[in-house]
Amino acid sequence: MREIEQLAVRAYKGKFGEEPGLVASAPGRVNLIGEHTDYNGGFILPCAIDRRVAVAVGAGGRGGFETRLYSADFDETRQIDDKDSSWADYPRGVAWAMGEAGHEIGGFEAAFAGDVPLGSGLSSSAAIEAAIALALDAFFGLGIGRTDLAIICQRAENDYVGVGTGIMDQYASLLCKAGAALLIDCRSLDAESVPLDLEAAGLALIVCDTRVERGLAETGYNDRRATCERAAHMLGVEELRDATEGDLDLLSGAELKRARHVISENARVLEAVEALRHRDFDEFGRLMFASHASLRDDYEVSTPELDTFVRAAEQHGARGARLTGAGFGGCAIALVPRAETAAAFTNACRQAFAKREFEEPVFYEFVPAEGAELAG
């Protein structure tokens, strides 16, 4: 059992006074390329990270009649019923969405422990959702497939928590494989693992948390989404996935810029997958920089901090770098040659932030990890 899973077990025992029935855990994610394409029916290429949320689940001392949720990270116990804008809304939403999908679940008790950085755009909330979804599926013997679990988790996020995100985070957390990225077609929900052996390529995946609160994330995100829907409507296509570069002549203003990003980004994802298959990290990196420029100039979701990191990364030897996730703050990623040593690279980036009097960023190095699992 992983350490974080043991922590969840200890928390369960401490809180509920008995052994849990089972333990599951699910990772956060970074998206390598393919940003703001998921809700346009397009392509994405995320990988899971080696930071997880674990949950221990059992029938509980009260005969399974009452459901209690406990977070070891916040040392808080919550009931299942009341929505209260806390971490507990994610498991509540999953239980609700399972019911909506026609799956019967009884009472249960659950204890959570996690080490996915919170509020940085590394999908800590999707990790909670995926972990509890897998745990409840096994605990109540529901036999729901992984893709349907991802749809249930997305429903929890969209219709219970009330954030209109695409399916990337939940899908990545449930279906990614260790040592690989996952190419996902967000229309058909077909997915394919693409080997990502960074060590063999002599590269490290460095994540920079700019620590800029993603305050505008919700309004900005919904606004981008609405503009894409408008652009698709103007072009007479179901989703921007169906639009081509030639269609862009028919658009202007914000619709033109947003659609240009989505169309070019979808193409970049497919090119990036080809590059990965040929272990061509120069090309892969070039596409990452191009993705960032498109998110900055056409999709307009970057920030001065994210741009500073990407520029500093380029100047200090990164093969590629870009913002990851929704933007408006949060994290950026870079593929950095190991020989440069992560410390020299991150020091150079830190200096670039200090020079502009930005808050000191936090750096992580992640390896592509396994998706959600039941602990043995």
Residues with Cβ within 8 Å of 321's Cβ and at least 6 positions away in sequence, in order, are 285, 288, 289, 292, 309, 310, 313, 314, 332, 333, 334, 335
Measured from the Cβ of residue 219, the count of other Cβ atoms closer than 10 Å reads 10
Using CB under 6 A as the binding rule, the residues of this chain from 317 to 356 that contact ligand GLA are 325-326
Q: Give me the least distance between CB of 44 and ligand GLA, in Å please.
A: 7
Report helix angle 281-297 to 304-315, nearest 10: 150
Q: Which is nearer to ligand GLA, 39 or 112 (CB)?
A: 39
Q: Does the footprint of ligand GLA cover residue 38 (CB under 6 A)?
A: yes
Using CB under 6 A as the binding rule, the residues of this chain from 116 to 175 that contact ligand GLA are 165-166, 168-169
Is 12 in contact with 111 (CB distance < 8 Å)?
yes
Q: Does the footprint of ligand GLA cover residue 4 (CB under 6 A)?
A: no
Structure tokens at 3: 């350490």
Of 349, 372, 373, 376, whose CA–CA distance to 360 is shortest? 349
Q: Does the footprint of ligand GLA cover residue 36 (CB under 6 A)?
A: yes
d(C-alpha 290, C-alpha 307), whole Å = 12
Q: Give me the least distance between CB of 221 and ligand GLA, in Å please.
A: 7
Helix and strand numbers, DSSP H then E, in the chain: 10, 13
Q: Which is nearer to ligand GLA, 110 or 240 (CB)?
A: 240
Q: Give me the least distance between CB of 257 and ligand GLA, in Å please.
A: 16
DSSP 235-289: HT-SSGGG--GGGGGG--HHHHHHHHHHHHHHHHHHHHHHHHHTT-HHHHHHHHH
Q: Which is nearer to ligand GLA, 38 or 305 (CB)?
A: 38
The one segment of 31-39, 133-141, 207-215, 289-297 that binds ligand GLA by CB under 6 A: 31-39
Give the one residue of 39, 112, 353, 358 binding ligand GLA; rule: CB under 6 A: 39
**Residue 185 catalytic?**
no
The one segment of 28-36, 128-136, 242-250, 307-315 that binds ligand GLA by CB under 6 A: 28-36
Active site residues: 169
* Contact positions vs ligand GLA (CB under 6 A): 31, 35-36, 38-39, 165-166, 168-169, 325-326
